[in-house]
Structure 1
Amino acid sequence: MALHKIKDFDPDYRTHFDNNDVIGFDFYSGDEKIGSVDDVLVDDNGSFRYLVVNTGLWILGKKVLMPIAQGRINYADRRVYANSLTKTQVEQLPEYNPDHLVDYEHEEQVRGVYRPAATGVAAPEMSYDRTSYGYDRDPDLYGFDHDQSLRLYQERLIASKTRQKTGEVAIGKHIETDTARVSVPIEKERVVIERTPVTGGMPVAVGEADFHDGEVARVEVYEEVADIQKEAFVREEVRVKKVVDRDVVTAEDQIRREELDLDVDGSPVVERKL
């Protein structure tokens, strides 16, 4: 069965994987980064068969094939972890040339390196050939019946607070002018002249009458004058302070949640554990 680069097989393949394209993911062996994923090879049915790994950090410029079941893909971290891959295996693997087709002999060399690591036993004698081989013969290399993990994501609303300026109050004062009236009782002196005629007046003795021309009697006259002055006093005292009013703000929005879809083909026994 021929192998194809995934983009040659389906130019729009990314639309089928929700943009989770493993090409470009970092490639790790254990905790050590050894390279990156350069491409994906699929068979005539579109089934994933190999990841093309650029092992530049181990062997500069060498690209090799890793059977799809020999890796674990972590989409969140954009990484692919090899189940078991050593530098010695990379040295034994045939180099992948993207300009050449991968034939049966190339695949057998690849399988011969991975089979002992996947099964723990030496590679069995071949009981098949180019025409009789099927990928189902090597489930440890190509199957997906091993334990797999799938992350289900859900959105949630996160409430937080930020402080922002909503206004400003300036307290000042200005002068206004009014007309005020005040009453003060005052006293004024006035001269009252009373003339009383004398009837049958008694004569005075000779020499007592003293006639003088220009004799004047003086009387000082006083009056009170209002003395109006202004004085300032504290009419009112203004204190400025702030108080905090508390309220509860309620918001709502649409959140998404991923649910598990189970597509069963045939009549397998499926046990679901919560």
Structure 2
Amino acid sequence: MQTEIRNLLDCHVIGSDGQSIGKVGQVYLSDRTGEPEWVTVRTGFFGMKQTFVPLTNARRSGDEIRVPFDKEMIKGAPNIDVDGRLSLEEEAELYRYYGMQPSNIPSQRTPMGERQARTAAGEQRIADERGRRGGMTGQTGQTTGQTGQAGRPRGRDVGDRDIDMTTSEERLRIGKESRESGHVRLRKYVETENVQEKVPLSHEEVVIEREPIKDGEPGTYEIGEDEQQITLHEERAVIGKETRPVEHIRVHKERVQHEETVEGQVRRERLEVDEDGSARERTRNRRGDDLPPKR
């Protein structure tokens, strides 16, 4: 347990909104179980203020403690002195603020700093030994107190006064946290492909036309050599390239809302009425929905 407390003192508290609240200042243990139940977080300028945060439903990952409350709620917690013991009234006030219903608050909570953590194990062994001895009287080993039917403890008799009892129930308090779910990268690369296109081309060809002369008259034509030439042309395909934009791509984020079903276990108190003697016939239940049927 000493090692666990020292490890908690080195942790940072992270809220359900993913924001860092601060470093753990002190650890408060349950006097009933000896387990860490509350931690104080250093907040404010220069970490001078310490705020209580419950460890119920908290998750530890490495040197981080993630709690199901956001930063604003933790900063607004009741201002309670962290130098002394956490009284029952102070703890009940904290539970009410965080919307939690403790099943039992047996005694005051003691703050555990680094020096006190070294003696925690020895004190826990003494508390366990006292717990094993508690409830036993004399050498007979019998438990004290009266029991009723089927070994059930008999309640105290209040005489002719009305019986008044309050039932409580737990409710889920759902928080949210932000975490990474993936990355999207946009990169551009170059690929080469062969392209074929048909291009119409033209060229010049020589056409020789001969026309015979009939009954030619003699003239001053001289016989001799002669040479003339004509230039021919043709078209050839010339390949050139140009670059032009063809598409624009933009990647951005948008928040999409969805619903998720969260399950958890909660406890609620029920009332059970035991009747004996002639009282069974005279009892009237004005709110039958709140009580179980008579047995």
- Please indicate the TM-score interval, normalised by the length of the shorter structure: 0.3 to 0.5
Q: Which has the higher contact order (CA 8 A, sep 6+)?
A: 2
The structure with the largest alpha-carbon Rg is 1
